[in-house]
Amino acid sequence: MRATRAAIFAAMCVALGAIGHAYMSGTDIPLFGLLGAFGVTAGLAWLAAGRRRGPVGITGAVLGVQGVLHLVFSGTGAAAHHHAAPAPMGGHHHMPAADAGAMAAEAPGMAGMADMAGAAGHGGAGMIAAHVLAGLLCAAWLARGEAAFFRLARVLATAALHAARPLARALALVRTRA
């Protein structure tokens, strides 16, 4: 159960973070970046799934994970961008931050625009908002999921205990007659 919970959480966390990051940066995230992020996130989630966490702890941890995912996606997206041009996403034609920065750097008197374009693509307010939103959605889902999971576990344990009583009585009768 622990590994399943960790894998489901990692899949959702990485997917939401990747969608927001790709949309805001205008670059696709390569498969190896997604798989690596999933593996690390699932491993950390498995380690953290040993006991129940509260909403504040969950939210802090998930926002931290989104920060790390941003760094991973920025690194893998930048590496992939140097090898292939990004495909347009969802009908929107985004200009990758690196292209905007190169154009601004080539324009006379616009040297500072290159830094601003790079910041907007990989660390601007929109990118931060995308990762924070993904983190908050994952935290809410995980907090509610954790509560539901442990509530279900308590109900099943109680049901198993009540179902086991008649079986225990029957076994006691069989032992005494044997």
> Is the pLDDT assigned to residue 8 strictly greater than 60?
yes
What is each CA distance from 63 to 19, 40, 41, 77, 138, in whole angstroms?
16, 15, 12, 20, 9
Cβ partners under 8 Å of residue 16, min gap 6: 134, 137, 138
For residue 134, how many other CB atoms are within 10 A of its CB? Answer: 26
Type of residue numbered 131: H
Type of residue numbered 14: V
DSSP annotation of 89 reads B
CA distance 140 to 39: 22
Domain ranges of the chain: 2-153
Residues 110-148: tens digit of each pLDDT? 344 334 344 444 568 888 888 888 888 888 888 787 778
The mean per-residue pLDDT over the stretch 80-100 comes to: 44
Name the band, by pLDDT with cuts 50, 70 and 90, for residue 108.
very low
Q: In whole numbers, what is the pLDDT of the chain averaged over residues?
A: 74
pLDDT: which is higher, 104 or 45: 45
**pTM exceeds 0.85:** no
> Is the pLDDT assigned to residue 154 strictly greater than 60?
yes
The closest of 33, 36, 56 to 44, measured between CA atoms, is 36
